[in-house]
Amino acid sequence: MIRAGKSLYAGLALRMAVVLAGSAAILLGAIWLSTRSAVDEAYDRMLSASALQIAENLWYEHGRLNVDVPMAAFATMTAGDRVLYNVIGPDGRSIAGDPEFHPAIPWKDLVSGPVIIDGYDHELPVRIAMIGRAMPVENGNPWAVVIIGQSRFARSAFLDGLMARVLLAIVITGAVAAVVGMFTLHQALSPLKRIEAAIAQRSLTELQPLAMTVPRELLAVVSAINAFMERLATRRRIMQRVLGDTAHQLRTPVTAFLSQIEMLAAERDDTRRDTLLDRLRLRAQDLGALVNQLLHHAMVLHRADAVPKQRVDLKALAQTEALDMLSHADRALDLEMRAPDDGCEIEADAVSVREALRNVLANALRYGARSYLHVELNDLGQWLELKVIEDGPGIPEEAWSRVRQAFAVDSSGRSGASLGLAIVDEVMRSHQGELRFEKREGEGFAVCLRFPKLSA
């Protein structure tokens, strides 16, 4: 029973949405990190430039540090930010700015240039730039330090505004990508609709393979559908063949059987009634044999591709069937079977192979063997060959092809439906084997069944 599962389109769309959302989040995070770094770098340069302008106006005279703070040093500062500064002399005293703005000074780092650090002023986060200048003092600490701090309001506002615009761009781009992706996904799945329509439009009798161009990803699916339809068509042909053969072969004998019953019912002479009764009995036997052969033929055709093959010991199977069939022989025969000790396994349907062996042995007993019947199983490397050898006249060479065909016209006067060797040939072809006939030197005839050997 087929159940409707999750939508392939919805599942792919959901996966695409997750991928787009994840990609947008990663992209937004990467842009935020890089933009924040760039904004901090730009603002830090301005902060360092302001500190440098103040430092350039420091001078040491008469044992004291002097500074002339230029107003231009604060011109680059963003309006709305809080700006703090302090100039500390070598003696540690503040000579300009806010004396309370005195963060810890990394003295060792002042030698390499401006130092940028994060700090606080009364719990307000600020960005701090420090520049040191060595003064000509006689002893002690020679460094004069310019410290300037700026709150993060402007840079945070700039970063937030920029990220809002970036987010808007990503949302718009994502929406466009989603619409385009959904359309593309719909187009990508359209071959499934074409395959569905191609199958739905077919009638019950149209079982030929689909002839259409499909994407490479769907080639295996369409190939599987075509293979299934081919198997279904084969089964349908077999069914039609069996029904046709059965109807054709049974029509005449059943009609004759009914006619003889009517003649028997109308006959009043006892002697003629006995004669008609004997004929009716013979006709019933022939009709029973025909029905059996038709059923066996239908069974072999059905099992050819409907039943999985298994490991079968051909030697054991042949021994069992030979003993069973030959035990019913109505005359004394020289019976013998020769086979290798091991390595006699094939991949086969045991029921079909057994039916083929029975037909070969039955033909040999009924039409061939006069004084002997031998069964040989020979290992030919990649093949196992089973021979049924008898000393009868055998089948004329010119009839070897004809006897493989079902219901072939038989000029030998044999009764029956002429299906025995046709069944054997069907079995051998379904096992990738071969049915052969062989004239023996002197007098004799052999039917050979050659099977692919199953490797150990």
In a domain, 194, yes or no: no
Q: What is the DSSP letter of 450?
A: E
Statement to judge: residues 22 and 156 lie in one domain:
yes
Q: State the Cα–Cα distance between residues 60 and 68, nearest whole angstrom.
A: 12
Q: State the Cα–Cα distance between residues 12 and 33, nearest whole angstrom.
A: 31
Statement to judge: residues 296 and 429 lie in one domain:
no
Give 152's contacts (C-beta < 8 A, 6+ positions apart).
Answer: 81, 125, 126, 127
Angle between helices 190-200 and 153-188 (to 10 degrees): 20
CB-CB contact of 78 with 71 (8 Å): no
In a domain, 178, yes or no: no
Cα 399 to Cα 172, 362, 391, 402, distances in angstroms: 83, 19, 18, 5
In a domain, 68, yes or no: yes
Statement to judge: residues 208 and 153 lie in one domain:
no
Banded pLDDT at 411 (limits 50, 70, 90):
very low
Statement to judge: residues 104 and 147 lie in one domain:
yes
Statement to judge: residues 282 and 341 lie in one domain:
no
pLDDT of residue 168: 92
Give the per-residue SS3 of 68-125: CCCHHHHCCCCCCCCEEEEEECCCCCEEEECCCCCCCCCHHHHHHCCEEEEEEECCEE
Overall domain count for the chain: 3
pLDDT of residue 413: 45
Q: What element of type H or E holds 67?
A: strand 64-67
**Own/partner pairs for 227-233, CB < 8 Å, 24+ apart?**
231/305, 232/207, 233/207, 233/208
- The DSSP bridge pattern shows strands 115-121 and 334-338 to be unpaired
The type of residue at 111 is V
Q: What is the DSSP letter of 371?
A: S
In a domain, 134, yes or no: yes
Domain that holds residue 351: 308-452
**What is the total residue count of the chain?**
456
Bridge partners of residue 130, in order along the sequence: 115, 147
Q: What does 288-353 look like in DSSP terms, one character per residue?
A: HHHHHHHHHHHHHHHHHHHS--EEEEHHHHHHHHHHHHHTT-SS--EEEEE--SS--EEEE-HHHH
Statement to judge: residues 392 and 289 lie in one domain:
no
Banded pLDDT at 386 (limits 50, 70, 90):
very high
Last residue of a domain, one of 277, 306, 335: 306
pLDDT in tens, 267-324: 788 888 888 888 888 888 877 777 777 777 777 777 777 788 889 999 999 988 888 8
pLDDT in tens, 132-142: 988 888 777 88
In a domain, 446, yes or no: yes
Bridge partners of residue 83, in order along the sequence: 150
Statement to judge: residues 411 and 278 lie in one domain:
no
Statement to judge: residues 318 and 447 lie in one domain:
yes
In a domain, 343, yes or no: yes
Phi, psi (rounded to 5 degrees) for 25 = -65, -45
Q: State the Cα–Cα distance between residues 77 and 154, nearest whole angstrom.
A: 9
In a domain, 183, yes or no: no
Statement to judge: residues 265 and 356 lie in one domain:
no
Q: State the Cα–Cα distance between residues 92 and 105, nearest whole angstrom.
A: 11
Last residue of a domain, one of 291, 306, 321: 306
- The CATH number of residue 373's host domain is 3.30.565.10
- The DSSP bridge pattern shows strands 334-338 and 372-379 to be parallel
Statement to judge: residues 106 and 218 lie in one domain:
no
Last residue of a domain, one of 279, 306, 333: 306
Statement to judge: residues 257 and 332 lie in one domain:
no
pLDDT of residue 450: 93
pTM over 0.85: no
Range in 94-108, 149-163, 394-408 the model is least confident about: 394-408
Q: State the Cα–Cα distance between residues 355 and 425, nearest whole angstrom.
A: 11
Statement to judge: residues 389 and 446 lie in one domain:
yes
In a domain, 234, yes or no: yes
pLDDT of residue 417: 47
